[in-house]
Structure 1
Amino acid sequence: MTDNNFNYDSFVQNPSIPVDIENLSLHDSLFSSNSLSSPPFNSFIISSFNINGLNMHPHNKIELLNNFFSLKQISFGGVVDTHLHPKQMHFLAKRLSNYTIFSSAGISLFIENSLASHVHTYTSFSSRLLSVDLYFKGNVKLRIFVIYIPPTSDQALRNDTIDLLIQALSDAKRLGFHHAVCGDFNMQFHHFYPIFFNQPQIASKRIHCLFNFLLSNSYVDHIPVNFSVSLGTFHRTDIVSRIDYVWLCPLLKQFLLTSVIFDVHSLVKSI
């Protein structure tokens, strides 16, 4: 293993002691800026961040991103909806000197430099899906996906992107990768969850194929299913929804400690 502060091989074989999630209130575990303010030793943090366009006020938003990554000690930061060419994104990302960036058109993955030394392969499947492979001692392989699934207004492109992701996840599983996918799915899991358990014939329909694949293959959504309108990652006027996700494969889900939804603007104001 190279000389850095993270031993992934040890992490896989001897996971950190989980946080006592049973004794955390839902609000504390999902929204508190104090939750896991100092990550446990030998752990890493994956985030999904919808930047909502970097073509307007790019320097302000990059500074916001930098502050968020630094404050929350993000290890793998998936960023979607940049509206930028990879070359433009790489130029702006120079301000995040502690991170190495991998970009396709509109999506990026920031990897903390000590972990970036383990990067083996970067793959751009399309402008909406990328992955980065990291290899560690003991033949431990980690693959992180970043995805942006188009809205239903472009159903053909949406279907193609979902099919591409399902195939990519299937390949990662077949090749024995620990893997996670983060990004903007433009769909709401809590609508599908009861359908999966109570209406299997409907759950298998094309419109539900991604969530059906994930649950059928024992992936886990990092946020507990909850029907509160306050549990959202997208806010606009009177609309609140959760369309941004981090899903973990069965190999990784046993190491999940906790999860948090942040209002980034509020966090940065409190620095």
Structure 2
Amino acid sequence: MRKYIEGCMIENPSSALEPEKPKEPFVLPPDEEAEKQIVIQDMRTDELLDACFIGIDLVTYDGKPFSRTMLVQSINSAVDAAEQMFDISIRTRVVEDEIHDYEGESMWNFQYTPLYHRPIQEISKMEYFIGNRKILSVPEDWIQVDKRMGEITIFPTSGSMQLISPDIGTVLPFFVYRNYMPMGIKVSYVAGMKKEQIPKNLLDWIYKKAAISIFEVWGDQIIGAGIASSSISIDGLSQSIGTTQSAMYGGASARILEYRKDLDELTTIIRKHFARFDAVVL
């Protein structure tokens, strides 16, 4: 009997069971133009997919893949949220002539000056003004920088300040012995972080913040927006699909809730790392 069955299979190969082909992994179509719009240099949307979407096919209920542009917009929005939440600069910012008031006592305390954007990558120049007249330019090797906190001080070493104004002899005494001079200091610098300088937990915060907005859309695309279950019946055969989504909750609500809990925990830790206390005495 066995030989007979094997012979039939050889004579009629179609009767043999064909091995089931493995499912090819889902790959989101690339879009290099969209990737260039990410505000963090050298970051790619694939990093977001690897961090938060393992095993999840980002497609609509009719099989159309999500666009890379949507992922880029979510990443950029998350970067904006992180900058505002932690009072830091993540994207690179070139700041020209940032204005600070001059206070007489600060001159005798190494001209301590907290800048508006941090962390700092480099200081390009620091100058003193009276009104709109530039009178002094500070040598670069005098400027001490606390890059993470965004603070600078002046510690004179070798050389001297470059005198700009020809009548500096009459202006400088007035400048030094005044207790306050509005808009007396201008600083130009580059702020922000390179990708490799961003703390890993801050990257995790950005990825999960971006993923939440994507999951909000994906959760409605499992079988259609607001549909909790679906069934089909043909000639006595039926198939039913049930999901966790409803008219009020998307299919990814559980994942979104977990990510929000993670963000709350990470926010406390990251805020302590970048905390800076700016005090004002009235």
Larger Rg: 2
Q: TM-score normalised to the size of structure 1?
A: 0.22
Q: TM-score normalised to the size of structure 2?
A: 0.21
